[in-house]
Chain A
């Protein structure tokens, strides 16, 4: 079979698209003015930002004044969580609700706040990677300042019941933040209808460049200034704006959200084909709900092999993917997301995430399905763990989370 080059790591980052690049280019050379300057190229840049802000807001069902540019998802998460904590601590609200499988930008921010006198409730997730809105409702207390739950999980691609959680938070008068970094462009987002008070997004996940993102802050919610200085971003985040990035973000989010149903209809059958095909390999497990998952996201565990060696072999065959294995992160523990599903270390070590976008084709899926079984067989043939499993009749338990005799 002819070698193909397949980029199946869209959850990590994406390439800047031609349309986005074309939209940005004038703002590097010809139109380089500082948006705060009075002359023509300054004014043109100011207008470009105004225009971009309005277009981004429209894609989220927000008002332009509710969009604040940041450097990306992690900054937006930090600002939202620490900002709300700071504001509401003064009112005696020092409790935050989140989940165990959030992105580290949320988890480590919450851990930071715990060191500063806040109490954090980490909600568990179901074995198929979903958060139960009832548990959110039950966890809310008099002193709860914020609920922060991700829209779609970055590793396993499960989509959370955001509208339900938003309604609960609204009814209980608690602010609701969602890290929507993986969701934008994949699911329809309407911050008003879904009662979202704060939403983080990152441009490079949907073909804008790295280093540009945004935080939606609902009108009426006031966060402390993130960066003190000039009057940019209503004085909340000072510093000369990243105009090319902002223009690129606007173009990218318009393209990404233009026709989500069509994109879903195209990608879902390819995703399901991959899932069904990979699950034909003996001793494999789909991580995360099959139904409530991003259209271009697959996460599978393979018993008896280790994730990093799987990725290196795939790379050798031209397939770029990612893993929740320990070795890729440099720690000895496998991903907290996979462990949160109840997976044992042994099962979590051998996981693979394939995440793809609109350029993904049937031929790509066929190639992955042709190459992957060979690779798995080869790695298992050299795995002493697989040997033990075969000799001692070790197998999955009923819910495929652990290996038992």
Chain B
């Protein structure tokens, strides 16, 4: 697998790994059957993402894209975080092998899922703001 130095760096030394106990928004995307699950925790203060942590089950690219996504939204406003695209995550990692592009899509979705959860907790309908985030697929055998 032709991973860039940046992907390897974010895999071996992932940034912001862990949980936030009193998170304001938590999003989980992917499923175990396909081999990738990303869980994103956000701490939000006055429309600013003050802290962000993640947990990922998946390949090297899945870990690296989640790590990079947390770096890219930490300290940013919610509206900036909503602008985060999978291609921006990929670019920041100096690219991904074609079969791994879906990992960057998952990273973008994890951020959006966490923001959806944040708005739901606020009693605000997230869909007009965040858009639709694909539901986690049901696990089946």
Contacts and interface: CB of A to CB of B under 8 A. Distances in A.
Given A349-B32, A384-B28, A385-B37, A327 B58 contact: yes
A328 B1 contact: yes
A370 interface: no
Nearest to A380: B57
A328 B63 CA distance: 15
B32 A345 contact: yes
Given A308-B1, A309-B60, A382 B14 contact: yes
Contacts of A312: 8, 11-12, 60
A305 B59 CA distance: 9
A383 B35 CA distance: 11
Nearest to A348: B35
Contact of B57 (A313, A328, A332, A383): A383
A385 B141 contact: no
Contacts of B63: 309, 382
Interface residues of B, number: 29
A384 B60 contact: no
A330 B39 CA distance: 23
A349 B35 contact: yes
A174 B1 CA distance: 42
B133 interface: no
A386 B57 contact: yes
Nearest to B8: A312
A345 B32 CA distance: 7
Interface residues of A, number: 28
A192 interface: no
B35 A327 contact: yes
Contacts of A313: 12
B76 interface: no
A383 to B, nearest CB: 4
A198 to B, nearest CB: 35
Interface string A376-405: 000001111111000000000000001000
Most buried by A among B17, B18, B56, B62: B56
Interface string B21-41: 000000010001111111100
Interface in A310-358: 312-313, 316, 325-328, 330, 332, 334, 344-346, 349
Given A327-B35, A344-B141, A384-B38, A316 B57 contact: no
Contacts of B57: 304-306, 383-386
B59 A306 contact: yes
A258 to B, nearest CB: 37
Contacts of B36: 306
Contacts of B61: 327
A326 B18 CA distance: 25
Contacts of A304: 57
B56 A326 contact: no
A332 B34 contact: yes
Contact of A382 (B17, B100, B139): B17
A305 to B, nearest CB: 7
Contact of B56 (A308, A328, A344, A382): A382
A384 B37 contact: yes
B35 A384 contact: no
A402 B38 contact: no
A18 to B, nearest CB: 31
A19 to B, nearest CB: 33
Contact of B35 (A325, A382, A386, A402): A325
B35 A345 contact: yes
B35 A326 contact: yes
A325 B1 CA distance: 13
Given A327-B59, A334-B35, 4 more contacts: A306-B59, A326-B35, A384-B38, A384-B39
27 contacts: A304-B57, A306-B59, A306-B62, A307-B59, A308-B59, A309-B59, A312-B11, A316-B12, A326-B34, A326-B35, A327-B1, A327-B58, A327-B60, A327-B100, A332-B35, A344-B141, A345-B32, A345-B35, A346-B32, A346-B139, A381-B17, A383-B37, A383-B55, A384-B37, A384-B39, A384-B56, A402-B141
* Interface pairs A-B: 3 shortest CB-CB: A327-B59, A308-B59, A384-B39
